């Protein structure tokens, strides 16, 4: 009984092992970590396919032609963005790992210089000389951790900044495809004239939501951000419409 009680108390104090994260928790965490890719993917999908759809709709004889062009463009754009995101994140991770390895090697060759560099950077970040000396003194007792911290401080980044390219690219594909489908779906349901109006309404609604999301993530003013998001999509639609009129 006493052992059970002490284990419970230890877990309550945070000393025990953390409970395994649920699937829902992992998905929620990956969603939060990928918020930048999600917003970018949705905005890219909406804007690019919105312009394509209205350009084709200006010259298409019926909704089926618009649906074919829009669906083809949506899936191609989503795959392209997914691949681009994967390569971008993987390259950024490789560059960060390479830089950290170089810094670790440099610091391992001259530990005293490592301590001086870290102390200098800590002082420039607002630490007092005493505090900086205390930190470097503690680091010197743990050589391996000392190298990692020294490299991270010198570069301003560490392993915590690495992103999972598979997670980032998966979210990019899902959100880009979803957003790209919004302007296209009405052409699968309605005739050409009605589909144009419905597509315009649902796309405008999505753009407003995206603008609000961008403002919240970036801590920006809502109205200017929404206006910017809608304005970019409007420019894309007008460009597509102009091309459609010129070709038809």
Task: Kindly state the helix (H) or strand (E) to which residue 16 belongs, with its residue range.
Answer: none
pLDDT level of residue 93 (50, 70, 90 thresholds): confident
Quickly state the pLDDT bin for 5 (edges 50, 70, 90): very low
If you write DSSP's letter for every residue of 158-202 in order, what string do you get?
A: -GGG---HHHHHHHHHHHHHHHHHHHHTHHHHS-HHHHHHHHHHH
Q: 240 vs 101, 125, 181, 229, 236, CA distance in Å?
A: 48, 50, 17, 17, 6
Residue 195 has pLDDT above 90, yes or no: yes
The answer, as to whether pTM is greater than 0.75, is no
Q: Give the pair of three-digit tokens for residue 155.
A: 């570069």
pLDDT digits (tens, 9 = 90+) for 23-63: 677 767 776 767 777 777 788 888 889 888 888 888 888 99
Using a pLDDT cut of 90, give the percent of the chain over it.
21
CA-based nearest residue to 85, from 14, 23, 163: 163
Question: What number is the average pLDDT over the span 209-219?
Answer: 86
Which single residue is written with the structure tokens 């390479």?
98
Least confident among 162-166, 184-188, 196-200, 202-206 = 162-166
Q: Over 70: is that where the pLDDT of 159 sits?
A: no
Report domain extents, the chain.
39-247
What was the pLDDT predicted at 127?
85
Residue 180 contacts residue 77 (beta carbons within 8 Å): yes
Mean pLDDT of the chain: 79
Q: Does residue 155 contact residue 99 with C-beta atoms inside 8 Å?
A: yes
Q: Is the pLDDT of residue 222 over 70?
A: yes
Q: What are the helix (H) ranges across the chain?
A: 2-12, 23-33, 35-57, 63-109, 111-124, 129-139, 143-155, 165-184, 186-189, 192-218, 222-247
């Amino acid at each position: 009984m006493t052992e059970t009680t002490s284990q419970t108390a230890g877990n309550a104090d945070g000393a025990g092992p953390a409970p395994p994260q649920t699937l829902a928790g992992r998905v929620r965490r990956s969603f939060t970590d990928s918020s930048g890719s999600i917003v970018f993917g949705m905005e890219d999908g909406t804007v690019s396919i919105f312009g394509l759809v209205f350009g084709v709709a200006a010259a298409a004889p019926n909704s089926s032609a618009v649906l074919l062009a829009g669906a083809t463009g949506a899936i191609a754009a989503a795959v392209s963005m997914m691949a681009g995101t994967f390569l971008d994140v993987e390259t950024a991770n490789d560059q960060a790992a390479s830089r950290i390895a170089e810094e670790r090697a440099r610091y391992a060759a001259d530990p005293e210089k490592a301590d001086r560099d870290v102390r200098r950077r800590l002082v420039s970040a607002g630490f007092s000389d005493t505090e900086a000396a205390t930190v470097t003194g503690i680091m010197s007792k743990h050589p391996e951790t000392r190298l990692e911290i020294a490299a991270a401080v010198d570069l301003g980044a560490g392993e915590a900044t690495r992103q999972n390219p598979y997670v980032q690219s998966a979210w990019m594909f899902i959100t880009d495809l979803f957003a790209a489908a919004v302007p296209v779906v009405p052409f699968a349901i309605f005739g050409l004239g009605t589909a144009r109006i419905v597509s315009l309404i649902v796309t405008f609604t999505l753009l407003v939501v995206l603008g609000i999301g961008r403002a919240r993530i970036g801590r920006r003013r809502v109205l200017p951000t929404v206006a910017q998001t809608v304005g970019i999509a409007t420019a894309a639609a007008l460009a597509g419409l102009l091309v459609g009129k010129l070709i038809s």
